[in-house]
Amino acid sequence: MPGKLHDWPAWREFGSKLASEAIDDDFVKAKQDVIREYGEDKLRSSWLAVCKELQKVTEDIASKRNDIVPILDADELLSKGFRESDVATIRQTGCFIVRGVIPEDDARRLYQDLQDYVRDNKAHVRGWPAESPSMLMLYDSPTQNAIRSHPKHMELQQMVNSLWHDETGQTSSQPLIYLDGARDREPGQPFLGLGPHIDAGSLCRWADPKYRRVYDAVFSGRALEHDAWDLGVRKDADQDLFKGPAHSTVLRSFQGWTALTRAAPKEGTLLLYPNLLTTIAYVLLRPFFRPPTDPDSDVMDPETWMFDESGWFPGTFKPESQYMSRTSHPHLRLEDCLVHIPVMEPGDTVWWHCDVCHAVDPVHEGKENAAVVYVGACPSTPINHKYIKSQLEATLAGRPPPDQDDGTGVSEATFKGYRGHEGLNELARRAFGYNL
Segment contacting Fe ion (CB under 5 A): 191-199, 215-223, 265-273, 325-333?
A: 191-199
Q: How many CB atoms lie within 10 A of CB 434?
A: 15
Segment contacting Fe ion (CB under 5 A): 8-16, 181-189, 198-206, 215-223?
A: 198-206
Q: Which is nearer to Fe ion, 110 or 357 (CB)?
A: 357
Q: Which is nearer to Fe ion, 77 or 194 (CB)?
A: 194
Q: How many CB atoms lie within 10 A of CB 10?
A: 10
CA distances from 203 to 111, 273, 423 (A): 37, 21, 41
Per-residue binding string, Fe ion, 341-360, x by CB under 5 A, is --------------------
Q: For residues 217 and 199, what is the distance between their CA atoms, to the nearest angstrom?
A: 21
Per-residue binding string, Fe ion, 143-182, x by CB under 5 A, is ----------------------------------------
Instruction: Give every CB contact of residue 231 below 8 A, 6+ residues apart in sequence.
Output: 164, 165, 166, 171, 253, 379, 381
Q: Is 240 in the site for Fe ion (CB under 5 A)?
A: no
Q: Is 199 in the site for Fe ion (CB under 5 A)?
A: yes
Residue 424: CB minimum distance to Fe ion, A: 27
Q: How many residues bind to Fe ion according to rule CB under 5 A?
A: 1
Q: For residues 218 and 281, what is the distance between their CA atoms, to the nearest angstrom?
A: 6
Q: Which is nearer to Fe ion, 196 or 342 (CB)?
A: 196
Segment contacting Fe ion (CB under 5 A): 136-144, 197-205, 292-300, 363-371?
A: 197-205
Q: Which is nearer to Fe ion, 199 or 236 (CB)?
A: 199
Per-residue binding string, Fe ion, 298-337, x by CB under 5 A, is ----------------------------------------
Pairing, β 306-307 against β 289-290: antiparallel
φ and ψ at residue 259, rounded to 5 degrees: -75, 135
Q: Which is nearer to Fe ion, 325 or 395 (CB)?
A: 325
- Which residue's C-beta sits nearest to Fe ion? 199
Single-letter residue type at 240 = D
Q: Which is nearer to Fe ion, 77 or 200 (CB)?
A: 200
Q: Which is nearer to Fe ion, 199 or 361 (CB)?
A: 199
Helices within 94-127 (DSSP H only): 104-120
Residue 213: CB minimum distance to Fe ion, A: 24
Q: Which is nearer to Fe ion, 166 or 199 (CB)?
A: 199
- Residue 158: strand, helix, or coil: helix
Residue 156: CB minimum distance to Fe ion, A: 20
Q: For residues 385 and 396, what is the distance between their CA atoms, to the nearest angstrom?
A: 17
The length of the chain in residues reads: 436
Instruction: Give every CB contact of residue 19 below 8 A, 6+ residues apart in sequence.
Output: none
Residue 255: CB minimum distance to Fe ion, A: 7
Residue 276: CB minimum distance to Fe ion, A: 15
Instruction: Give every CB contact of residue 113 below 8 A, 6+ residues apart in sequence.
Output: 141, 142, 143, 146, 417
Residue 106: CB minimum distance to Fe ion, A: 26
Segment contacting Fe ion (CB under 5 A): 13-21, 194-202, 385-393, 413-421?
A: 194-202
29's enclosing H/E stretch is helix 25-38
Q: Which is nearer to Fe ion, 144 or 322 (CB)?
A: 322
Residue 321: CB minimum distance to Fe ion, A: 6
Q: What b-and-e string marks burial along 169-193, b requiring 16 or more CB atoms within 10 Å of the CB?
A: eebebbbbbbbbbbbbbeeebebeb
Q: Which is nearer to Fe ion, 199 or 355 (CB)?
A: 199
Q: What one-character-per-residue DSSP string does 223-249 give?
A: GGG--TTBHHHHTT--TTSS--TT--S
395's enclosing H/E stretch is helix 382-396
Residue 198: CB minimum distance to Fe ion, A: 8
Segment contacting Fe ion (CB under 5 A): 1-9, 57-65, 199-207, 216-224?
A: 199-207
Residue 274: CB minimum distance to Fe ion, A: 15
| Closest by CA position to 260, among listed 372, 148, 390, 353 | 372
* Footprint on this chain of Fe ion (rule: CB under 5 A): 199
